[in-house]
């Protein structure tokens, strides 16, 4: 597949618009076109060791779940390991693509895969995503009626206000009089200017309606998951299930105040990776994530919520095998897709 065709297909699989605003997703490194991709190489973290594996396996595009370029690079030299990744990629005509939190949000993504480790359950996003694109522009819609005497002057002033869109006029009859119904979309900032303008004329202002425009929520899409188990099971059973699902010999556990390892778990809130900000404030029997700060764990435990920590990338990496199969179907088996064998969590128990 041509690289640009493949990137378009990857964006269809999980829109980069679903990623968090702070994230750096999409195509990060592009060899000079045209660039044909025969082998797509999947990894959770693109380290130098993993890059050498990609070179040896003649990868044409690396899909790295975590973006190897996050903070802006001021130069590309051989000095730092992330700069060297870019150099090695371009030397070997390897592109780099990262989906990160877009894969966290989608219904067939990382968090849904992690939820399978709990056993049979239903889940909803903790923080639902809104439609990335919507016909409505702006944050508010303003509608008012004006007579012929004031219409032209008001419209002229409105058109001078920045961040105004979708300005329309329609004939209207108000209290038996022929008037014009004006409708416009505007930003939060522009709304203040529009209201200030209309308030100069009491007749216009009293006939003004202001509507908040909200993008529709996307079903089953968003950050984190609140999972309701089909049947409550003990915390110790959940631990064993997760160790099996994640193929880990151990996890870290903090038992909630007033609870024990045999206490039942019915609701579990989870977030792959570092989940403190996503999980905080959620009512559940259990928090499941890769890592949390010491004080966030203390807060959860004090509120009677048990915590299971599996290390950051251990809650993500196992998804790659499922992703490989899903992308093979999505891309109609047009390219070879392989998963890194050297990618691993940097932390070990000594």
Whether the CB-CB separation of 286 and 308 falls below 8 Å is answered with yes
Q: Residue 322: exposed, middle, or buried by beta-carbon count in 10 A (0-12, 13-18, 19+)?
A: middle
Please give the Cα distance from 21 to 100 (Å, whole number). 12
Q: Phi first, then psi: what are they for 41, rounded to 5°?
A: -115, 120
Query: Which residues line the annotated binding site for a divalent metal cation?
Result: 66, 104, 312, 316
SS3 (DSSP) at 224: strand
Please give the Cα distance from 332 to 5 (Å, whole number). 13
Could you count the other beta carbons within 10 Å of the beta carbon of residue 332? Answer: 9
Nearest-5° angle of CA 130, CA 218, CA 271?
Answer: 85
Nearest of 111, 17, 28 to residue 63 by alpha carbon: 28
Q: How far apart are the first and last CA of the chain?
A: 44
Sheet holding 209-212, edge to edge: 164-174, 177-186, 140-146, 209-212
Please give the Cα distance from 38 to 12 (Å, whole number). 19
Could you count the other beta carbons within 10 Å of the beta carbon of residue 58? Answer: 12
Task: Specify the DSSP class assigned to residue 204.
Answer: H
Nearest-5° angle of CA 51, CA 53, CA 57?
Answer: 120
Task: Return left, alpha or beta for 287; rule: phi > 0 is left, psi -120 to 50 is alpha, else beta.
Answer: beta
Query: Which residues line the annotated binding site?
Result: 66, 104, 312, 316
SS3 (DSSP) at 86: helix
């Amino acid at each position: 597949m041509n690289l640009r065709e493949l990137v378009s297909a990857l964006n269809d699989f999980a829109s980069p618009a679903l990623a968090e605003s702070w994230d750096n997703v999409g195509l990060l490194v592009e060899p000079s076109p045209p660039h044909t991709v025969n082998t797509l190489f999947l990894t959770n973290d693109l380290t130098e060791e993993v890059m050498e594996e990609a070179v040896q396996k003649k990868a044409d595009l690396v899909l790295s779940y975590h973006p190897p370029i996050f903070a802006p690079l001021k130069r590309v030299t051989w000095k730092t390991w992330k700069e060297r990744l870019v150099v090695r990629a371009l030397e070997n005509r390897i592109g780099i693509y990262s989906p990160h939190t877009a894969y966290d949000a989608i219904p067939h993504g990382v968090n849904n895969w992690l939820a399978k480790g709990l056993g049979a359950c239903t889940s909803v996003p903790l923080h639902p995503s809104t439609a990335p694109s919507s016909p409505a522009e702006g944050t508010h819609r303003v509608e008012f009626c004006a007579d012929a005497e004031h219409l032209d002057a008001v419209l002229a002033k409105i058109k001078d206000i920045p961040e105004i869109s979708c300005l329309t006029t329609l004939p209207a009859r108000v209290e038996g009089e022929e008037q014009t119904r004006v409708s416009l979309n505007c930003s939060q900032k522009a709304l203040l200017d529009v209201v200030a303008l209309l308030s100069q004329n009491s007749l216009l202002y009293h006939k003004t309606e202001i509507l908040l425009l909200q993008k529709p929520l996307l079903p089953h899409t968003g950050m984190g998951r609140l999972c309701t188990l089909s049947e409550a099971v003990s915390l110790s059973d959940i631990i064993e299930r997760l160790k099996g699902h994640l193929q880990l010999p151990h996890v870290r556990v903090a038992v909630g105040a007033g609870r024990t390892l045999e206490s039942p778990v019915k609701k579990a809130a989870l977030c792959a990776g570092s989940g403190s900000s996503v999980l905080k404030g959620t009512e559940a029997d259990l928090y499941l994530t890769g890592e949390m700060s010491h004080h966030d764990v203390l807060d959860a435990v004090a509120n009677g919520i048990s915590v299971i920590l599996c290390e950051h990338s251990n809650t993500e990496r196992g998804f790659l095998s499922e992703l490989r199969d899903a992308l093979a179907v999505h891309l109609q088996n047009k390219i070879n897709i392989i998963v890194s064998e050297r990618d691993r969590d940097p932390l070990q128990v000594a």
